[in-house]
Amino acid sequence: MLYSKTHSQIIYLKKTNIKNISSHLTLKKIKFALKIKLMTTENEHVQCLIIGSGPAGYTAAIYAARADLKPLMITGMEMGGQLTKTTDVENFPGYPNGVMGPDMMEDFRKQAERFGTDIRFGYVSSVDFSGAVHKVVVDENKTITADTVIISTGASAKWLGLPSEEKYNGFGVSACAVCDGFFFKNQNVAIVGAGDTAAEEATYLAKLCKKVYMIVRRDEFRASKAMVHRVLNTHNIEVLYNTETKEILGDGKVVTAVKVINNQTKQEQDLDVTGFFVAIGHNPNTAIFKDWLKMDETGYLITKPDSTATDIEGVFVCGDAQDKLWRQAVTAAGTGCMAALEAERYLAAKEFA
């Protein structure tokens, strides 16, 4: 088995485009990366292949390994998923004092490996689900065949693309009000977005925060009338129409304000906030499956009702790759459990058919 700490670190830094390795989170991610095996180039066959890590993938791995399916996990380039970009996680059961996102994913990894999951660093470059045995190409040069495939590639939040947004990500900037809103209790925050998700998260934040500025780029919402009505009737939400975020201001450690500009009058102002939430949508990481699996208009994979199974036998989907509603670590973990159990039952039925 090829395993190189130096090689792993170089690849990880290149692929994730880390510019500042001094932050606590980045160092956590590097330590996490150094413990993952690299792919070999020899082709191989496995009973259960898990594509992607994170709460869904690791939970699937734990259940699949305990069922003696000897799962192989290909981590993807963002090992541990979106939680490796967060600081404190306080809404996942089992951590009464909260936990850092990277530490939580490290615990998940250790538990999956404890039961025999083969975890390897790499990315899936293409798939072929045309036959009874599924083919997956990793790093564009290695083919793995599998009796079952569990997809847990997750979804990535859409960002505005501001350098300051990246700088303060996890230190006042968040893409999940439900996850992080509690940390801004009785403080002023801003949220950018105009759809149903933004409206829902704004009203959620309004229950916790002193003041919520809602930044809307156009002169109207994209949200449903019911959600707009709820926002406009919440006393501590101030909607800023025709407004765009110019820069997120901070003291080098945390967010202290947000500079916005009215795109009609060109007037600028600084909003006195300590939190900045981005609610402009998510992109499911599912592009490589578009020729094989059914997905909705935004790219979320479609599974059978009350199941993680797809229309292709032996292929299952869990986590945010198929969940555009809840998008929580605990719900992702739940569907990871379901996917592994369904994969086990699928293989058992084939064995005794």
322 CB contacts (<8 Å, ≥6 apart)? 284, 300, 301, 302, 303, 308, 335
Length of the chain: 353
Give the DSSP H or E segment for 151.
strand 142-151
CA distances from 110 to 82, 267, 297, 330 (A): 18, 52, 36, 18
Measured CA distances, 21 to 34, 66, 99, 106, 189 (Å): 14, 36, 21, 19, 28
Q: Does 176 participate in catalysis according to the annotation? A: yes
Catalytic residue list contains 196: no
Give me 271's structure tokens: 């909003």
Determine which one of 118, 147, 179, 209 is catalytic. 179
C-alpha 149/C-alpha 301 separation (Å) is 14
Q: Which two tokens stand for residue 166?
A: 């990246």
Catalytic residue among 180, 318, 320, 323: 180
Active site residue 209: no
How far from 29 is each of 8, 79, 100, 241, 257, CA to CA, in Å? 12, 8, 11, 38, 28
Rounded to whole angstroms, how far apart are CA atoms 351 and 353? 6
From 176, 318, 320, 323, active-site residue: 176
Residue 91 DSSP label:
S
Q: Do the Cβ atoms of 248 and 271 come closer than 8 Å?
A: no
> Is the distance from CB of 36 to CB of 113 less than 8 angstroms?
no
Q: Using CA atoms, how far apart are residues 149 and 313, in angstroms rounded to an integer? A: 10
The residues annotated as belonging to the active site are: 176, 179-180
